[in-house]
Structure 1
Amino acid sequence: MDTHDPDQKDSGWRGSREGWLTAARDAFVEAGLDAVKIQPLAARLNLSRTSFYWFFKDRGALLDALLDDWEATNTASLITAAEAYAETIGEAVLNLIGIFLDDGPFASGLDLAVRGWAHQSEAVAARVNAADAARLDAIRRMFGRFGFAEGEADVRARTVYLVQIGYISMQVREDMATRMARIPDYVKTFSGLPASDRELRRFHALHGFQPAA
């Protein structure tokens, strides 16, 4: 007797929805949109092609899920950081910078890949534009919480965000020591105020960085 429950489609010998999505994300970041195809992903996962259809209606549904994953990973993590508790604007800016470090939740490679995809699709470009607007608004509101006037908050938000997106778009590679050495000046440039020694020590500890003696 077949005891299979058709609603239980989340795992097993067919893999899992998360497994297919992770494989799609990895392929997308590594090789672009053309790499996100069912058969190559099945081979990557060592699964049958038909198992894909337990989790996604078709490739279009997978691509939609990939965009949802990008927003949940990157836009959500940025907004969360911008809204996180901070005693000073310096601490708030450090909260934001931290998500872009290698150990942070913001997936830079995924962001770069989605921006490349946006050049091929008006619908994806619209989602990227909406995400950029939401991210900028969150940073703008962060500065507003610390008393910055609307116009200044807007320009400072753009300065923070566009620098970070520039790092991603130019695929800048810095070792942790170099990046950490620049962060105090970035904080001062972004906010007009220096981060305190206590804030920097806490930031270093949070990211497992030990400054040279």
Structure 2
Amino acid sequence: MTNKTLAKPRGSETLWLEGASDLLCGGGVEAVRVMPLARNLGLSRTSFYWHFEDRDALLDALVARWEEKNTGNLAQRADAYAETICEAMFNLFDCWLDDDLFDSRLDLAIRNWARTDPKLQVQLNAADAARKEAIERMFVHHGYSENEAKIRTMTVLYTQIGHLSMPVQESRWQRLAQMPDFVEVFTGQRPSESEVGRFMSRHLTE
């Protein structure tokens, strides 16, 4: 049996990033270390360096992944086609229910990390600005004034950040049932039964 056969697999860059994300969410940035990460993944420490130059490169890739997934997908959902503002808000709410679109745990972990990292805080500020711009654009597109769009956008984002920060005890289904009411609070309009039905149908089957 050759040494090549005996060698542990290198894993993939995605696997290393997912493992790093779990460590960050569970223990903060200081928990993201190469040896514990390799041990958790069942991979060798040396295999890490096939994908990343060092720990700093891993952290940079983790932040880039967060920006692309969370901020990128949020902006896409805000820009998605919708005939009404209620439908548009439901499109945005997909982010709060689908971890493939928006990783809420990672978003909170990045915010906590940024408190002690000025460079990351600048990136976080830019991400928040991009999210605000996308949601404000959504409101303006549906007929709200720029000032009203700004206020309603802040209400949406601050509520979501607060939800992430507080240990809210509710099931996915409880939160889903509340969302038509949140749409009304955020938009000032009551969603129609058909809008609620379409939104529920794409999440009740998950």
What TM-score results when the alignment is normalised by the length of structure 2? 0.92
Q: How far did 1:86 drift?
A: 0.4
- Change in CA separation of 1:19 and 1:104 when aligned onto 2, cut-off 3 Å: closer
- Change in CA separation of 1:209 and 1:196 when aligned onto 2, cut-off 3 Å: farther
Q: How far did 1:118 drift?
A: 0.4
Q: How far did 1:176 drift?
A: 3.0
Amino acid at match of 2:184: K
1:185 aligns with 2:181: yes
* Cα deviation code 1:182-204 (max 9, x no counterpart): 22221111111111100000101
- Change in CA separation of 1:88 and 1:80 when aligned onto 2, cut-off 3 Å: same
What value does the CA root-mean-square deviation take over the aligned residues? 1.6
Residue pairs, 1:157-172, within 5 angstroms: 157-172=153-168
1:98 aligns with 2:99: no
Amino acid at match of 2:38: A
- Which of these residues, 105, 109, 122, is aligned with residue 118 of structure 2? 122
1:139 aligns with 2:132: no
- Change in CA separation of 1:199 and 1:30 when aligned onto 2, cut-off 3 Å: same
**Which residues of structure 2 form unaligned runs of 5+?**
1-7
Aligned twin of 2:4: none
Amino acid at match of 2:143: G
**Bigger fraction of residues in helix:** 2
* Maintained 8 Å contact 1:98/1:104: no
Residue pairs, 1:22-171, within 5 angstroms: 22-101=18-97, 105-171=101-167
* SS of alignment partner, residue 195 of structure 1: coil
> Would you identify which runs of 4 or more consecutive aligned residues in structure 1 move more than 2 Å?
none
Amino acid at match of 1:196: S
User: Counterparts of 2:100 and 2:16 in 1: how far apart (Å)?
Assistant: 23
Q: How far did 1:209 drift?
A: 6.1
Amino acid at match of 1:42: A
* Cα deviation code 1:88-112 (max 9, x no counterpart): 0000011111210255621110001
Deviates more, 1:166-175 or 1:81-90: 166-175
User: Counterparts of 1:25 and 1:170 in 2: how far apart (Å)?
Assistant: 20
* Cα deviation code 1:119-141 (max 9, x no counterpart): 11000111111111100110000
Q: How far did 1:175 drift?
A: 1.5
**Which residues of structure 1 form unaligned runs of 5+?**
1-11
* Maintained 8 Å contact 1:81/1:95: yes
Aligned twin of 2:3: none
* Maintained 8 Å contact 1:103/1:207: no
User: Counterparts of 1:100 and 1:193 in 2: how far apart (Å)?
Assistant: 20
User: Counterparts of 1:81 and 1:197 in 2: how far apart (Å)?
Assistant: 21
What TM-score results when the alignment is normalised by the length of structure 1? 0.89
- Change in CA separation of 1:94 and 1:48 when aligned onto 2, cut-off 3 Å: same
